[in-house]
Amino acid sequence: MNILKKIMRYRRVIITLFSLLFYSACGSKNDASPAPAPPAITILKDKAPFGIGAAVKSALLQDDAYKTTVLTYFSQITAEYEMKMQTIWSGENNYNWINADALVNFATANGLNVHGHALLWYQSFPDWFKNANYDSANFENKVKVYIDAVVSRYKGKLKSWDVANEIFNDNGTLRSVDCPVYKTFKDPIAFYGRCFQYAKNADPDAKLFYNDYSVVIAPSKRYSIKQMVSRFKKEGYPIDGLGEQFHYSINTDKTSIKSGLNDMATTGLLVHVSELDLKVNVNQSNTYVFSATDQQLQADTYQYIVETFEGLPANQKFAITTWGVSDKYTWLTASWNAKEYPLLFDLDFKKKPAYDGFLKGLK
C-alpha cells in the first residue's frame, strides 16, 4: 500500500517525463522549430575570401568619415600616388619617405595589407633622372639602387608590388614617348625582367605584379603582356601576378570584360582588379545628373565585374581594389569631369547602389 500511495503521489511527474521521452524519440521533424538563418554579411571585406582594397591618400586620413570608411569596409590599401618614384626619389641620393611611411604605419596599426604602387612607371620618372642622360648601364644601376632602397625599407610590411606599370600601348607595341627606358635599352623587356628580379631579391616574400589599363578590352595589348609573361617564365624572371586597372564606363562591353579577364587568367598568375572605378558621365557633360537609371546601371556593372572575377580559379583571385574611397575625392573629377560619381560611396560617404551591386557579386 505504501508503494502504491507513493506512485499515485508522483504520477503527474512520471507522466510528464514519459511524455517528454516519447515526443523526443518519435516526434515529427516538422514539429521542431527551424534553426535561425545566419545573419547576412553586408561588409565587403567580411564576405570576400580575397583582398578588398582602396587607393588612399595619407592627407585624407585626417577626414574622419574617409578614415572610418577605409577601416570599416576594406582589408587592403594602395597608395594613390605616394609610392611612385617621382614622389619618393627627390634626388640621386635623396628619398622622401614621409607620406609613404605614414600610409604603411597606418596600415600596420590597423591590420590592413598594403599593395605597393608602383616601382617603375614612365610618367613617374623624376625630371632630374630623365635629364641625366645615363647610358644603359648607369641607368639600370640607378634603378636597381632605387628598387632595393624602396622595397627593402618596407620588407615584411607590404604584401605586394606593382613592379612595372603601363609599358605597352593598346596595339601591343612598347611605349616610346617620354620614357627613357626605350631610348636607352635595345631590349626593354629584358630590362624590366631584371627589375622584377631586383625587387624579388629585396623582398623574397612580396608578390610581384605587372599592371596596366584596358587589358581586358585591348586584345593586342593583352597578347603582348602574355608574351612577356611567357618570356619571364622561360628566362627565369620572377612574376607572380597581373593587374588590370578597370578604369571603365557603365556602358563598357561586358562580353569583352569577361573574355578578356578569363584570357588573363590563362597565364596561371594571380589576377588583381587593381584600380576599379566606373564612369557614369560618359559624355563628359557639365549638366549631367546622376539619375536613378544610371545608378542602377553602375550597380549592375559592378556586380557583373565582381561576378566575373569570382568565376576565376580560387587560387588566382588576389584582390579587387577601387581607385579611391568615395566620389568626394575621386581623381576623375579633375581629369575627366567635375560631375562624376564612379565609386561605391557618395559625396557623404553613404553606400550607393554600386556598393550593393559589388556585394551581390561576391559569392
* Residues known to be catalytic: 166, 275
Cell of 173: 607595341
Q: Are strands 270-279 and 247-249 parallel, antiparallel or unpaired?
A: parallel
The cell for 338 is 567635375
Residue type, 191: F
Query: What Å distances lie between residue 124 and 86, 113, 127, 212, 263, CA to CA?
Result: 5, 24, 9, 14, 29
**CA dihedral in degrees (59, 64, 67, 70; nearest 10)?**
-140
Q: Which residue has the cell 606593382?
A: 162
Q: How far is CA 107 from CA 55, 80, 272, in A?
A: 12, 14, 19
The total of other beta-carbon atoms located within 10 Å of residue 77's CB is: 24
CA neighbor of 116 nearest in space, from 22, 20, 23, 199: 199
- Neighbouring CB atoms inside 10 A of 211's CB total 24
Q: How do 113-116 and 51-56 pair as beta strands?
A: unpaired
Q: Measured between alpha carbons, how far apart are the two ends of the chain, in Å?
A: 70
Give 274-290 as a 3 state SS string.
EEEEEECCCCCCCCCCC
